[in-house]
Chains A and B, each alone.
Chain A
Amino acid sequence: MATRLKPTDVVVVGLGAAGGVAVLPLAQAGLDVVGLEAGTWLTKRDFAPDEIRNNVRDWPQSVQKAQHEVPTHRANEKANTTRAGSHPMMNAVGGTTLHYWAQSWRLNPWDFKVVTDTTKRYGASRIPKGSTVEDWPFGLDELEAYYDKVEYELGVSGQAGNIKGTIDPRGNIFEGPRQRPYPMPPLRSTGFIDLMAAAARGLGWHPFAGPAAINSRPYQNRSACMYHGFCNKGGCHVDAKNGPNVTTIPRAQDTGRLKVVTRAHVTSIDADHQGRVTGVTYVTDGVEYVQPAKAVLLASYTYENTRLLLLSKSKAFPNGLSNNHGQVGRHYLSHAQGAGVTALFPFNLNAWYGLPAQGVAVDNFADDNFDHGAQDFIGGGNLWVMSDRRPISAASMGTFGRTPGWGAEWKAFIKENADRTSTAYIQKTTLPYEDNYLDLDPVVKDPLGFPVCRITADYKDNERRITAQTQERMAQWYRAAGASATQANPLGTMGPTTHAYGGTRMGRNPETNVVNQWGFSHEVPNLGVLGASVMGTSGARNPTLTVQALAWRTAEHLTKNWKTITT
């Protein structure tokens, strides 16, 4: 029999990038908040610069809830189902922001109105067949204040490209207007990054330093970045990476209104017969608890948000919570993050140190930043070149067909070339489609006996055409900087990824969306959903800052409409 705990105002499920931000406006408004987190607190002492622990062994010392719940994947309903060996996300207070790259982009204006803008400029026939893409229920202008809020609350370094309509060519000339500069200047450059930026300018492109939730100078009494080279899947040893664990969560705790519960494995969101949520059930060390609350904010990850809703069945919601319109799990997309380009240079790049967020971006081929009139796709990709290398990964490099993969000749090759390669990261527009979706796996279960999430999804022609064109552009850029060889890497599958969107899409129409324009369920008035699961388009850049801006906005909406939402 579950232990029934003292009721609270709001329970937040998951204290990662989204939930960890939402707790602050809730607590500041005087609401009592219980934050349930499957993982534990980790501190900078836990973040050793250790490639084996962080990159090879996937953080085995942390709580491994997600690792027991790796989603299965199949390309379509007739394809074989496979299961990856590991989950891309981690459990901890702060979630995967502990070891993410911290690239903190705002979406470009086009991403909010893909249907309207595409139709206006090229005609409705240019929306790919089978895509379920919709405009967002609001534009960038609505989200700008929240982007600004989280950039300053968390701390984001970057170079503005558009302040109130005034373009600054040092930043991204394609970004939408912002009200003021970033709170910190961009992370510094490196010799190699300078070389790449110069090559981009030589091609007539517009290179700029990308934004990162990492301190380029001391901020909020925390250190500046030390550029030590272990940021990629590594936590920060000086707390210069601005996850909620060092920013919004401690600030919310300081109000006395937030109770953080670690090792809490949420198994269901509970609803009454009237279709309102009453709280959540969770398990800690084998003991079951019920935490009653007046409102619930679901803030795990895209796969777990979907799974928890589908698992939370009740009389009012026989097909899963908030799923009476059958929209939970629909409109899934990931980010076409594969298909980078690797280049080999005839000189050392000195890239042993730095971090993935220290780099140079080109946005000329992203979104609708170029004329698609003669193209056979919409959208595009952001090109990103960075300073990121570690020894095992460097020694595991491909040899461009020049030597075998082992033995004396291979040894000579890696000795010469270990510091001479660069792999670009190209994030590409991915659209939602009718036949790309999430549901529960009929066979595979987690250790508690609950089905894991199943991904049914494949890239379509639009994503593949973007891939081909952006890889060509990237190879051109590397060659302009002096690369002696380039190699296009495969796109891969749509299996579990760090950039997973949809499943609880946000929109005004309850027939095609799970949550409304404020992030609250169309069917369950006191249930909000946070995370990229509410996003209907991917943009061509990392989702986290958008997730955080939306989380703040949804939490603020709850505080401003507390009585309406909770009674």
Chain B
Amino acid sequence: MADDPNIGVTRRELLKRAGLAGAALTIPASAAPVRAEAGGGATPEGHPAQSVAAARREPLETLTAAESDLLEAVCARIIPSDAMGPGAREARAAHYIDRALGGALASSRQAYSAGFAALDRYSRSSRGAAFTALTERDQDSVLIDVETGAATGFTGSSAAFFAMVRTHTLQGTFGDPYYGGNANFVGWDLIGYPGVRTSVSADDQRLGATLAPNHRSAYDYDMFTKASARGGPAEPGARLPEPGEDPHGH
């Protein structure tokens, strides 16, 4: 499934859709089972994006405060919080990334520093303000430039930077909560994944069966040896690939 998700979509359409996204409503309380200080929820179109500093809950492990603010803001646009439910912000995708950058994703640390510096420069030069100070609609239009490679000032392709952050945001939203993201299982609830089970019956696999979410992580089961939460290299200098999908076949 390594296809381009934007095939057939023009940039203008993307902008239009991004604008519609900005018109989303605040989250109903029932859909946001997170602590109150986490904030969350998009603001109406045209209003300044929510202060991301208020959403941060965990002590930083790798990123600087400024980088973390930018990451929170970008994650919140990739998977926004809206009427449909919590997004990457409530899932704490940024926390997952911050932690992993000190371990399994250490080889991407430099790319984050350089990419966020470039993002902020591009935001100021093209939209006249820091990225975090833009409205959600303007943030989206900046990110479309970054995604399509149209943004200037990036080392290499801005599209590669966007693809990397998107990939990690998805990992942090839909991965096992053990690694610091998918808080309160909001990611799994969003897509209807019923949770980690160690045994599944024939009846569970029939068409139309609906399994209640069990909200369990792999490591809620005592039968498994715990992995490193940071997922650091097993040996010094180990190559750590980070593809989302297995490129090799089976």
Contacts and interface: CB of A to CB of B under 8 A. Distances in A.
A404 B17 contact: yes
B24 A408 contact: yes
Contact of B250 (A84, A356, A391): A356
A191 B207 contact: yes
Contact of A396 (B170, B179, B223): B170
B21 interface: yes
A201 interface: no
Interface string A391-414: 111111111010111111111101
Interface string A56-100: 111011111001101000000000000011101000000000001
Interface in B218-250: 218-219, 221, 223-228, 231-235, 237-250
Contact of B17 (A68, A233, A403): A403
A61 B197 contact: no
B212 interface: no
Max count, chain B CB within 10 A of own CB: residue among A47, A52, A88: A52
B3 to A, nearest CB: 4
Contacts, number: 265
B198 A64 contact: no
Contacts of B2: 398, 489-490
A191 B140 CA distance: 41
B112 interface: no
Contacts of B166: 405-406
B84 A412 contact: yes
Interface stretch (A203-211, A248-256, A492-500, A523-531): A492-500
B170 A395 contact: yes
B224 A86 contact: no
Contacts of B179: 52
Nearest to B79: A411
A527 B78 CA distance: 57
- Interface majority SS (helix, strand, loop, mixed), chain A: loop
Contact of A45 (B85, B174, B224): B224
A71 to B, nearest CB: 11
A57 B18 contact: no
B110 interface: no
A191 B225 contact: no
Contacts of A387: 205
Contact of A67 (B140, B198, B206, B239): B239
Contact of A418 (B140, B191, B225): B191
A46 B225 contact: yes
B234 A191 contact: no
A195 B223 CA distance: 35
Interface of B: 1-9, 13-14, 17-18, 20-21, 24, 77-80, 82, 84-85, 87, 104, 140, 143, 147, 166-167, 170-171, 173-176, 178-179, 187-188, 190-194, 196-202, 204-209, 211, 218-219, 221, 223-228, 231-235, 237-250
